[in-house]
Structure 1
Amino acid sequence: MKKKLWAPLMLGVAMLVVSACGNNNSNGNSANGESGASSSPSASASASASAPAADDGKQFKIAISQIVEHPSLDATREGFLAALKDNGIEEGVNLTLDYNNAQDDPTNNLSIAQKLASEKNDLILAIATPSAQAIVQNVKDSPVLFAAVTDPLDAKLVTDLEKPGGNVSGASDTNPAAITQLMDFIASDFPNVKTVGVVINEGEPNAVVMSKKAEEALSAHGIKLVKAAVTNTSEVKQAAESLVGRVDAFYITLDNKVVSGVDAIIQVANENKLPFFSSDRDTVEKGAFATVGFKYFDHGYQAGLMAVDVLKNGKNIGDLPVTMQEKLDLILNLKAAEAQGITVTDAMKQKVQDQETNIIQ
């Protein structure tokens, strides 16, 4: 009797083992993930090679705090999630995602941070400086990553970029060289520009740091920077209009309130034939003429790979250096040029390294 029972039991065990092996083939790839991975192939491959399989049974809980919706910040979030998915962490499979948007309201921003501080998350991503500041001040028990932050030191998120320590690290969305290169481009290719107007929310540290850097770079060429201050997005159009007749071109920083209202600046620039320069690719795609920059999807993807190091590779987040964008290129929008009365010369185009990607038709 024992032999008759033992044989079926062994057969059943064998079938379960075969079934389990057959299901263990998840690689986390997707159409969106391929887009992100193609922009960071070496980093993605490295993370994927050392990461455990997606179906190892571990479940993850990640919260995101984002200050406001606009293309650059949204692309940052999408790139972050794509990097996770490429490395076996996928919402609805083994990831529970808690996405919070403050809608540019400081009270909401603080409430989100306090809520997340009271919860247990495997990791929190804070997108943009105000969100990062609130999260870092309130969350002490969960690993915190920041992204779309211009100056982590000035924002007091970390005290050391190479060894942040504690429970915080992240990805900075700027490289001071990008601002200098853009101002040099204005000076060399727009000889008639003697004054540049910047619409700015001086309550945002990012904007202050970047405008100061731009002012220094322009001053070296004898060009003056003129500011038009705003305190909220609804004031952006009026501020841009106040600069008409006083400046020869527009410029904006990575300023959340201003970028959220950038359509109004594009309209004023087009109506008055004023060249409009921005600090991010997404604004150029919308209708600014030029920037020196990168894709925010790639920036978010970079932050996502840091998350993979923490969640799947066991790295201590405080040991991860703050990353910075190294690959910079001039980006031109030819349709915006036409709308703003700009003649795009061959000399301008020759300054674009990746012309297929970064000359927008």
Structure 2
Amino acid sequence: MKKLSFLLFGLVLLLAACGGGGEKSTDSTDTGTDTKTEEAKSFKVGITQIVEHPSLDAATDGFKKALEDAGLEVEFVEENAQNDQSMNTTIAQNLVNEGVDLIFANSTPSAQAVKGATSDIPIIFTSVTDAVGAELIDSMEAPGANVTGTVDLHPDTISNTVNFLKDELGAKKVGTVYNTGEQNSVAQIEQIKTLLEEAGLELVEAAVSTSAEVKQATESLIGKVDSLYIITDNTVVSALESVVDVANAQKLPLMVGELDSVARGGLGAYGFEYYDIGYEAGQMAVKILNGEATPSEIPSAYPANLKLLINKATADNLGLEIKDTWNAEFSK
């Protein structure tokens, strides 16, 4: 009997120990769940830029700042093609192979290359003049597919510039230099030619394929034109100082396509800050990375806040009177 009582007592102790151990394990598990915090998700973002020049560089800075302001943890894989089309294509494929979460394409050639390389990875572009004509999107309102972004041509930029050339500078024959291989440039030149003809002016063109040809092409216009108009052509803008030198030496007023080129010596431009369109492109990227929208659900955007900027030193060199009616701002 004593033996049986001892066995029963031992069994009770064993069960109590097991029960206590199980309860302790549950408490530990619950506590662990309560204190565990979800790790912040990080992203890998590819950046491809066709060439280095102040406007494109500013757009890239704006894009990065938007992601930083959103508090995203991002590793950037950044490449620059240095205006080499074969390198541009290689960069696009490398970014796809890298398995990035999103690609920021800064320029029309960059965007076209990455679109040709992937239909799966989201693509955000900027510094693109005619996104529909470049076959990057279906329309500004409904981009479609995996691509959207911000364009760098306000609808009124070219018409305002043509009017300024005619009404304020008295131009008759306007010279331009551009790369016929850049689709964004061809689209602008066609629009400029139409507007100049409607205004009774003539466009005289000089074509280049590399930045090394820009100075000679500009010099070929001497004696044929009374003014110059350089659009947002990546090849020419990357060598803009060559154009400025010729314009200054010949006392030719030089209108340019964006504000950074005014600071570099152009007489004036109707434009906007490239940093701003880069930042807006970055805000689009934030929505995509956070899973709030897909590229097809985000309309592409035109730049806002168009303004006239005049380089006073250049105007003084030309002996040009700056009129109050221009409502212009002045470069530093």
Where 2:44 maps in the other structure, the secondary structure is strand
Residue equivalent to 2:118: 139
Aligned to 2:93: 114
- Contact 1:274–1:341 (Cα < 8 Å) also in 2: no
Give me the TM-score of the superposition, normalised by structure 2.
Answer: 0.87
Counterpart position of 1:71: 54
Residue 333 of structure 1 is matched in structure 2 by 311
1:304-343 to structure 2, matched below 5 A, reads 304-343=282-321
Match of 2:16 in 1: none
Give the drift of 1:255.
Answer: 0.6
Q: Considering only aligned residues, what root-mean-square deviation do their CA atoms show, in Å? A: 2.1
Q: Which residue of 1 aligns with 2:331?
A: 360
Please give the secondary structure, in 1, of the residue aligned with 2:231: coil
Counterpart pick for 2:40 among 51, 57, 60: 57
Please give the alpha-carbon distance, in whole angstroms, between the structure 2 residues aligned to 1:313 and 1:340: 54
CA distance in 2, matches of 1:312, 1:254: 32
Deviation at 1:117, TM superposition (A): 2.1
* Cα-to-partner distance string for 1:70-119 (whole Å, 9 max, x where unaligned): 11110010000111111112xxxx21110011111111111111112223
How many angstroms does 1:339 deviate by?
2.7
Q: Which among 187, 200, 204 is matched to residue 226 of structure 1?
A: 204
User: In structure 1, what is the Cα distance between the partners aligned to 2:183 and 2:51?
Assistant: 16
Which region of structure 1 is more displaced relative to structure 2, 310-319 or 200-209? 310-319
Which structure's CA Rg is the greater one?
A: 2
Q: Which residue is 1:81 aligned to?
A: 64
2:235 aligned with 1:257, yes or no?
yes
* Aligned-pair CA distance for 1:340: 3.4
- Per-residue deviation, 1:326: 3.2
Evaluate the alpha carbon distance shift between residue 301 and residue 56 of structure 1 in structure 2; reply closer, same or farther with a 3 A threshold: farther
Contact 2:272 2:304 in 1 (8 A): no
Partner of 2:277 in structure 1? 299
TM-score scaled by structure 1? 0.80
Is the 2:141–2:299 Cα contact (8 Å) retained in structure 1? yes
Structure 1 position 175, deviation (Å): 2.0
Question: What residue is the counterpart of 1:51 in the other structure?
Answer: none
Give unpaired runs (5+ residues) of structure 2: 1-19
Aligned position for 1:177:
156
| Per-residue CA distance 1:143-197 (angstroms, 9 max, x = gap) | 1111100001111111222112221111111123111011111111112x21110
Q: Is residue 111 of structure 2 the alignment partner of residue 128 of structure 1?
A: no
Aligned-partner Cα distance in 2 for 1:217–1:145: 31
Equivalent residues, number: 305
4+ residue segments displaced more than 4 Å: none
Distance 2:94 2:291 in 1: 28
Which residue is equivalent to 2:251?
A: 273
